[in-house]
Structure 1
Amino acid sequence: MTLPSTSNAAGTAGRTAPQHSAGDGVLRHARIGSLHLETGGYLPDVSLAYETWGTLNADADNAVLVAHALTGSTHVARGSSDEDGWWDALVGPGKTVDTDRYFVVCINMLGGCYGSTGPSSPDPQGLPWGSRFPFVTVRDSVRAEARLADQLGIRVWHTVLGGSLGGARALEWAATEPGRVQRCAVIACTAASSAEQIAFGQAQLEAIRLDPDFNGGDYYNGRAPVAGLGLARRIAHITYRSEAELEYRFGNGAQLEEDPLGSALPAARGRYAVESYLDHQARKLADRFDANSYLLLTEALMSHNVARGRGSVRQALASAGAEFFIAAVDSDRLYLPQHSYELAAALPRKTGVHMISAPIGHDGFLTDVEQIGVPLRDRFFGAP
């Protein structure tokens, strides 16, 4: 289904201006009105959560949009609270994306659980949407974010960038709103989700849906499906890290004093160190993330295909006026570097691939992002 662009000023009656607070890195909310979705769904009243850093200049030409990954939040960099951001190495005063020079915006994706309208949000009757929340695509999220950009007075982004799911959103911005993106950085992502990526995603979805507490997605008045969400995170985290990194850190060693051969009953044995590590990752996510949002954003990433309804990838990006920066992680076994080379080859202008050399795997786009700081500054942000 082809939908009209949401970035024009028409149909804005009843929307409220963004709520502004003093200081950088403060969570804010903006109502953007109703939204028709790509697959036929409809949301009558959408709110997007976002944070900003720096100041939009008089010409409104210094705005940078940073898109978060699957379970990321809007807090990309430190702000007034001095709470660490997830990309502090790249964004901040004097950093590659210098918040003394640029107005940086990070938006919680539609369907997320860090303040934007999502499955845990109240419907028009005041009840959690739960299982009734409609399917959201990356393209839907871009159309919603374009409305917020309008409210912020941003007609054109200086740069849109992101990694993983954030990279998919950045690429979709360049294709869906080609006149509004001058520069686009796609890091550790592809033009479309591969069969293997979809397969890993499907296993995670089933882990959540098979949790007895899931209740078809309507669990907000009872126990949350933390076991299923934790299992989904275990599956995902294995794909985020490389075999070499797991072997180096854990090997087949036991967890502290536990003995993996310490019982005749499998369920009573001790854990291997790597099992303890995965248990820890599962608990951390279950404590901070909503299972329905995990489902929704995973489904959105599985459906990612910038060429959907647009012919080939080359045809889909032919009208993109943005200058592109493509980066990959050399040890990534989820988003293979070859996928980044294929994306670069389909772009309108010749574009190379910057390689992050990191043994950790896919998560290198977070842990070793400083490796692309200089080339990204040289290409997009320049010297003060």
Structure 2
Amino acid sequence: MDTALSEPASPVAAAGSTVVVCRALAASQHVTLGPLKLDCGVTLDAHRVAFRTYGTLNADKSNAVLICHALTMDQFVADPHPVTGKPGWGDTLVGPGRPIDPAKHFVICANVLGGCMGSTGPLDIRPGTSEPYNLSFPVVTIGDMVRAQAALLDHLGVESLFCVTGGSMGGMLVLQWAATYPERVFSAIPVATAARHSAQNIAFHEVGRQAIMADPEWHAGSYIKHGTRPARGLAVARMAAHITYLSEAALQRKFGRQLQGKDALGFGFDADFQVESYLHHQGKSFVERFDANAYLYITRAMDYFDLAAQHGGSLATAFRGSPTRFCLMSFTSDWLFPTAESREIVRALNSVAANVSFVEVESDKGHDAFLLDEPEMLRTLAGFLRGAGNARGLKP
């Protein structure tokens, strides 16, 4: 059934999660677009996209680069976060002299549909009411997120992207872009990702969701109405997920079995070990900038992603005849999105004679390596973009 929902109102300025959205909107560019038909059958009569741009679109509109963010990231890829004040999450990737340089590229990064940093999501006021959508917000998919981004590009007058890139969930968005809008994507760089979520990853996400929903302050998703936040549940979800972003070698190197601020075991259940204290910090800092219901929705979108299933069970069919130049990257110690999953995509691309290159980066930093200063990754990105730029006719 195709159900229409009218334009979402902006989030109310209330304590907790909605304050995050209001600050994000104040620091972002944002536009209301629509209508948008979702994969679940619901149509949003309008939807808001919050985004950031860096650099200038050139005269022939050939230098646009779309950066797709990961699950817990947002549009603030290259400038300070409006809530935490921390530098942009992609400051090793974007900036003067970086592989993606606003002096050469027109850089776009948008908060995904269903997110909590200004784009339409469960925090928005449901039309015709004074209450947030909460769990009445329709379930969204990676495909829905990409269609919202495409509508944003239409609004910005960008018909074709020089490059679309992203890691983890961002890599899923890249693959969806290349499969859905091949004529709009000159080059694509999916990093540390997969063409579908594995059973293991779905399982980890379900643990996180259950932690949130088990928090007595969640109130079946209506925590704003009750003046509460499921902070403990969301913190546990973040702690569990963060373990999957690292490798055993990285955890051992950074923490080992070192004690936190003490010389002997405490014989209790406070944080004795540095790794425990680290995870507590990750959980606490996360709840300051993220919304619990948005976490439910975005993790569900990742779980539902299966590019082959969208094309009759054939991943190769998703890329047949594609004009896009691909460069895939994985990391040797990434057990969340292991190299085998990138190789599966490469094989599918090769089977339809697509233009594809692949690099497995040697790193012991785990999945989060794509967010860090990994010289081989950055050299590969820079080299690929330089070659693609020459083919595109961009000025060096």
TM-score by length of 2: 0.86
Matched, 1:100 2:121: no
CA deviations over 1:250-305 (Å, ceiling 9, x no partner): 22232112754524xxx4x5522211111010001011100011111111111111
1:342 aligned to 2:347?
Answer: no
CA contact (8 A) 1:258 1:271 kept: no
- TM-superposed CA distance for 1:209, in Å, is 1.1
Q: Distance in 2 between matches of 1:166 and 1:32?
A: 22
1:286 equivalent in structure 2: 287
Distance 1:31 1:369, change over 3 A: farther
Which whole-Å CA distance do the structure 1 matches of 2:230 and 2:189 have between them? 35
Secondary structure, counterpart of 1:42 in structure 2: strand
Partner of 1:204: 208
What SS does structure 1 have at the residue aligned with 2:294? helix
The residue type paired with residue 215 of structure 1 is H
Q: Distance in 2 between matches of 1:157 and 1:342?
A: 25
In 1, the alpha carbon distance for the partners of 2:80 and 2:55 equals 10
Instruction: Please list the CA deviations of residues 290-324 of structure 1 after superposition, one character each: whole Å capped at 9, or x if unmatched.
Output: 00111111111111111223121111121432110
Q: Write the distance in 1 (CA, Å) between the matches of 2:271 and 2:384.
A: 51
Aligned letter for 2:357?
G
Q: What residue identity is the alignment partner of 1:116?
A: S
Q: Which amino acid aligns with 1:335?
A: F
Q: 1:366 maps to what in 2?
A: 371
Report how far residue 371 of structure 1 moved. Answer: 2.3
1:21 — aligned with what?
A: none
Which deviations, in whole Å up to 9, do the C-alpha atoms of 1:230-266 show, x marking residues without a partner?
0100110010000111112222232112754524xxx
Cα–Cα, structure 1 residues 157 and 120, in superposed 2: closer, same or farther, change >3 Å? same
Instruction: Please report how far the alpha carbon of residue 63 of structure 1 lies from its aligned counterpart in structure 2 after TM superposition.
Output: 0.5
- Contact 2:66-2:161 at 8 Å conserved across structures: yes
Is structure 2 residue 149 aligned with structure 1 residue 145? yes
Could you tell me whether the CA contact under 8 Å between 1:26 and 1:52 is conserved in 2?
Answer: no
SS of equivalent residue, structure 1 residue 121: coil
Q: Which amino acid aligns with 2:54?
A: W
Letter in 1 for 2:98: K
Q: Does 1:166 align with 2:170?
A: yes
Does the C-alpha gap of structure 1 residues 225 and 79 become closer, same or farther in structure 2, counting only changes over 3 Å?
closer
In the TM superposition, structure 1's runs of 4+ consecutive aligned residues that sit over 3 Å from their partners are 78-83, 258-261
Change (3 A) 1:378 1:320: same
Bigger mean CA deviation after superposition, 124-133 or 98-107: 124-133
Would you say 1:380 and 2:364 are equivalent positions? no
SS at match of 1:251: coil
Equivalent pair of 1:67/1:161 in contact (CA under 8 Å):
yes
Contact 1:42 1:134 in 2 (8 A): no
Q: Percent identity?
A: 40
In 2, Cα distance between the equivalents of 1:56 and 1:108?
20
Which amino acid is 2:245 matched to? Answer: Y
**Residue of structure 2 equivalent to 1:8:** none
Tell me the residue number matched to 1:190.
194
**What pairs with 1:297-376 in structure 2 (closer than 5 Å)?**
297-311=298-312, 312-347=314-349, 348=352, 349=354, 351-376=356-381
Preserved CA contact (<8 Å) 2:113 2:121: yes
Q: What is the Cα deviation at residue 84 of structure 1?
A: 2.1
1:353 Cα offset (Å): 2.1
Q: Quote the Cα distance in structure 2 between the aligned partners of 1:369 and 1:255.
A: 28
In the alignment, the residues of structure 1 paired with residue 386 and residue 44 of structure 2 have an alpha-carbon distance, to the nearest angstrom, of 37
How many residues are aligned here?
Answer: 360
Moved more, 48-57 or 219-228: 219-228
Q: Classify the secondary structure of the residue corresponding to 1:184.
A: strand
C-alpha distance in 1, partners of 2:97/2:251?
Answer: 34
Distance 2:384 2:202 in 1: 33
Task: Quote the Cα distance in structure 2 between the aligned partners of 1:337 and 1:287.
Answer: 33
Pairing 1:130–2:145 present = no
Q: Structure 1's 220 and 372: CA in aligned 2 closer, same or farther, altered over 3 A? A: same
8 Å contact kept, 1:254–1:271: yes
Indicate if the aligned counterparts of 1:244 and 1:359 stay in contact, CA closer than 8 A.
yes
Contact 1:130 1:292 in 2 (8 A): yes
The unaligned stretches of length 5 or more in structure 1 are 4-13, 15-24
The change in CA–CA distance for 1:80 and 1:346 in structure 2 (over 3 A counts) is closer
Per-residue deviation, residues 50-72 of structure 1 (Å, max 9, x unmatched): 00001111211111000111010
Where 2:88 maps in the other structure, the secondary structure is: coil
Q: What TM-score does the superposition give when structure 1 sets the normalisation length? A: 0.88
1-structure distance, mates of 2:299, 2:81 = 31
Q: 1:262 matched to which residue of 2? A: 267
SS in 1 for 2:367: coil
Report whether the alignment pairs 1:85 with 2:88.
Answer: yes
Cα separation, 1, equivalents of 2:310 and 2:74:
30
